[in-house]
Amino acid sequence: MRIGILGSGVVGRALATGYLRHGHEVRIGTRQSELDDLPIGPAAQVAADSDLVVLAVQGAVAVELVSGLAAELDGKVLVDATNPLDMSAGGPQLYVGTTDSLGEQVQRAVPGARVVKAYNTVGNALMVDPDLPGGPPTMFIAGDDPAAKETVGDLLRETGWDVADLGGIEASRYLEPMCMAWVAYGARNGTWTHAFRLLRQPTAG
Ligand SMILES: NC(=O)c1ccc[n+]([C@@H]2O[C@H](COP(=O)([O-])OP(=O)(O)OC[C@H]3O[C@@H](n4cnc5c(N)ncnc54)[C@H](OP(=O)(O)O)[C@@H]3O)[C@@H](O)[C@H]2O)c1
């Protein structure tokens, strides 16, 4: 699959490296002029050329960035890995929640894109091929387009994840606070290689 990644932070680079390892065609859309040995390009070109685009930019710039790429993202699967984090008080705090979410804001900003919230409840070190005792952890996803979620689910399973679909994009309201639970556990225990796992009866969805 041709995968474009917007943002060259630790998330963008971890996903790019992992997807390349799995044989996907990957390019990072970035403001940088070069980036280690990873393939890069201007964000608009990368979005236009990709089958699936991952949004991996700082949460505060996510809506503005996708708004400027509405034409290139039209009809595309847009995986939203962002979290609405405000770091101004020192530690991270959510700047939106309860009745809205960054996932919903991104979908509203690009109504033609098929947004799927994913990756926001785990650290970048485990995003591709997580290897943990107890088997594959669970990636919780949310989005309004069933076919887009199927595509993202296939990519996640291929790269080592169990997948749990929480429904429409408004479930981002629950997924974004989950990132804070992940951070709180990490800060308390000094570890950043943990992930959530959903246990269910074999017949449950
Ligand atoms: N770090 C994690 O483990 C983790 C885990 C789950 C979710 N997330 C979420 O995933 C997203 C990416 O996280 P991250 O830790 O990789 O990096 P980040 O520090 O949040 O920034 C990622 C990238 O945003 C891009 N960006 C584009 N326009 C920008 C602007 N105007 N100002 C500042 N940055 C801009 C930059 O990429 P270019 O310079 O390439 O343009 C930057 O490298 C965030 O929303 C974060 O909350 C992070």
SS3 for the chain is CEEEEECCCHHHHHHHHHHHHCCCEEEEECCCCCCCCCCEECHHHHHHHCCEEEECCCHHHHHHHHHCCHHHHCCCEEEECCCCEECCCCCCEECCCCCCCHHHHHHHHCCCCEEEECCCCCCHHHCCCCCCCCCCCEEEEEECCHHHHHHHHHHHHHCCCEEEECCCHHHHHHHHHHHHHHHHHHHHHCCCCCCCCCCCCCCCC
pLDDT tens track for 80-121: 999 999 999 989 999 999 999 999 999 999 999 999 999 999
pLDDT reported for residue 102: 98
pLDDT reported for residue 46: 98
Sign of CA dihedral 125, 176, 79, 151: positive
Q: Is residue 87 part of a domain?
A: yes
What is the rounded end-to-end Cα distance, in angstroms, of the chain?
26
Host domain of residue 148 = 2-189
| Residue to mutate (ligand 1; options 38, 58, 127; most atoms within 8 A of CB) | 58
Tell me, yes or no, if the pTM score tops 0.85. Answer: yes
> What's the average model confidence in pLDDT over 127-136?
96
Whether 121 lines ligand 1, by a CB cut-off of 6 Å, is no
Q: Is residue 138 part of a domain?
A: yes
Mean pLDDT of the chain: 97
Q: Is residue 58 part of a domain?
A: yes
Would you tell me how many other CB atoms lie within 10 Å of the CB of residue 136?
A: 18
Q: Is residue 197 part of a domain?
A: no
Residue 204 pLDDT > 70: no
Whether 191 lines ligand 1, by a CB cut-off of 6 Å, is no
Q: Is residue 204 part of a domain?
A: no
pLDDT reported for residue 20: 98
Q: Is residue 200 part of a domain?
A: no
Split at pLDDT 50, 70, 90, the class of 68 is: very high
Nearest residue to 119 via CA among 14, 4, 41: 14
Q: Is residue 124 part of a domain?
A: yes
Residue 203 pLDDT > 90: no
pLDDT tens track for 35-56: 988 999 999 999 999 999 999 9
More confident residue, 162 or 34: 162
**CATH code (residue 50):** 3.40.50.720
Whether 43 lines ligand 1, by a CB cut-off of 6 Å, is no
Structure token pair of residue 187: 């800060």
Listed range (61-70, 97-106, 161-170, 196-205) with the worst mean pLDDT? 196-205
Specify the number of domains making up the chain. 1
Residue 205 pLDDT > 80: no
Q: Is residue 107 part of a domain?
A: yes
